[in-house]
Chain A
Amino acid sequence: KNEVEQSPQNLTAQEGEFITINCSYSVGISALHWLQQHPGGGIVSLFMLSSGKKKHGRLIATINIQEKHSSLHITASHPRDSAVYICAVGRPGGGSEKLVFGKGTKLTVNP
C-alpha cells in the first residue's frame, strides 16, 4: 500500500463546478504539500500545510491530522484549472528535501 493515496485518479468536471480532490496518508508527517503539474510542464507548489486550512484565490486546502487526510477544493472551476494535482508529504524530522508523493489526480474541466 502506498504511503500517500489520492482519489480520484481522474476527474472530469464542467466549468463552474466545485471540485474536491482527496489525499490520505499512512505515516506521520511534518507537512503536506499540494502541487500542480500542467501537461508538458513543470511542477508548481500550491500549498504547504501542517494544520487547519489555507486559501488562495479559488483554491482551498484543508488538513485533518488526526484522520491523516487532506482535501484540495477548487471553487468555480475553469478550463485553465485542467492539470494533474499531486499530494506530497514531508516526514517528521526532515525538511522538504525528501518528499513522498501520491500518484496524482488528473483534472479535466470542460467549457
Chain B
Amino acid sequence: NAGVTQTPKFQVLKTGQSMTLQCAQDMNHEYMSWYRQDPGMGLRLIHYSVGAGITDQGEVPNGYNVSRSTTEDFPLRLLSAAPSQTSVYFCASSYSRGALNTEAFFGQGTRLTVV
C-alpha cells in the first residue's frame, strides 16, 4: 500500500498564480484533512472532509478551496497565491469510527514557496 501520497513535493509559485496540491490515499479512509506547518507554530487545520461530497473549513481556510469527489482524493486549491501561503502542507487521512479517534496517516508534505 502506498498510504497517503502528496504531489508535488516542492513547488515555487509567483504571487497571484493558482495551483492544486494533490493528495491521494489507498486505505479507503473516510476522513481526510489538510494542514499547514509554519516555523514556530503547530500544524493548523485548513480544510477537512468526513466523506465523499462533504467538506468543511478548519482554522485557516482563507485562500484555499477543497473538494472531495471520491473517497481516495482530496485536492487543495490555492486560488491566488500570496507570500503568506509559503508553508509546508500536509495531507492526512484516518478511519471513521464514530466519535472515536483512530490513527492518523500523513503524507510526506509539500513545500510551497510563493515569491
Task: Identify the A interface with B (CB < 8 A).
Answer: 2, 4, 30-31, 33, 35, 41-45, 48, 50, 86, 88, 90, 92-104
Is residue B19 within 8 Å, beta carbon to beta carbon, of the partner chain? no
Question: B40, B50, B101, B107: which contacts A48 (Cβ < 8 A)?
Answer: B101
Q: How far does the alpha carbon of A94 sit from the alpha carbon of B41 in the complex, in Å? A: 23
Jot down 20 A-B pairs with beta carbons below 8 A, ordered by A. Answer: A31-B100, A33-B101, A35-B104, A41-B108, A42-B107, A42-B109, A43-B92, A44-B106, A48-B103, A50-B101, A88-B42, A93-B99, A95-B31, A95-B100, A97-B49, A97-B94, A99-B35, A100-B42, A101-B35, A102-B42
Question: B42, B92, B97: which contacts A4 (Cβ < 8 A)?
Answer: B42
With contact pairs A41-B108, A42-B107 given, residues A97 and B33 touching in the complex (Cβ less than 8 Å) = yes
- A33 x B104 contact (CB < 8 A): yes
In the complex, the chain B residue whose C-beta lies closest to that of A46 is: B103
- B102 x A96 contact (CB < 8 A): yes
Q: Which of B40, B42, B99, B109 has the most CB of A within 10 A?
A: B42
